[in-house]
Amino acid sequence: MVMSQKTSPHVLTVMEADMSKVLAHRTANKEIFARDGVNLTYTAYFISAIVAGLKAYPLTNSSWTDEGVLVHKAVNVGMATSLGEQGLIVPVIKNADNLSLLALARMVNDLAGRARAKKLQPDEVRGGSFTLTNHGTAGSLFAMPIINQPQCGILGTGAMQKRVVAVTDVNGNDAVAVRPMVFLSFVFDHRILDGASADAFLMKVKETLEKWA
């Protein structure tokens, strides 16, 4: 972690996402997924939204090298998994862009379960091109995660909370409503991305979650 902070100029940008449609989709499909032996966690939705962002802005799926920026063809998303007092480990979902929500959820269940049982294979914690850390499981609202080298960025998701927000209907009328909100904290390597490109990626993640169908 010290090496990472000395290597990459870390910059944080934060946006807030309305999780109403994700929450509704999960409520409607959780039992269906359970019939296939899959626990539909929010992690699968976050990874799917990250994939959408990485596909829309490939520079985010890259690494800094002495020869220049290396954009990775494979979208391999690591997910930080807590091991309790033993710290954390980051198993990697390889080729996440080729997986459906069901397949992502199954992979999340499998990798997290085997991580906590100390049954991961060495290759399953290597080769990540981007990382998700869900610090919200402990109640944190937002944080500034440290980049997992040699990746370009890491996305932290905070605790989901019902908050009063201003909403606008299709006719342009404003109102006050209670919505399940989550902070998305994106830390990026400023050698590769600037504020505009980083925010474009994060906005894609936000919009994917808010427009979930």
The region, left, alpha or beta by phi > 0 then psi within -120 to 50, assigned to residue 56 is alpha
The closest of 162, 209, 198, 210 to 54, measured between CA atoms, is 198
Residue 145 and residue 8: Cα distance in Å, rounded? 13
Residue 110 annotated in active site? no
For residue 67, the 8-state DSSP code is T
3-class DSSP state of 68: strand
Residue of 66, 135, 194, 199 marked catalytic: 194
Secondary structure percentages of the chain, helix, strand, coil, to 5: 40, 30, 30
Tokens of 114: 């085997």
Point out the catalytic residue in the list 10, 36, 189, 190.
190
Instruction: For residue 194, indicate whether it is catalytic.
Output: yes
The DSSP line for 122-162 is GGGGS--SEEEE-GGGGT-----PPP-TT-SEEEEE---EE
Question: Which residue has tokens 């606008």?
Answer: 168
List the catalytic residues: 190, 194
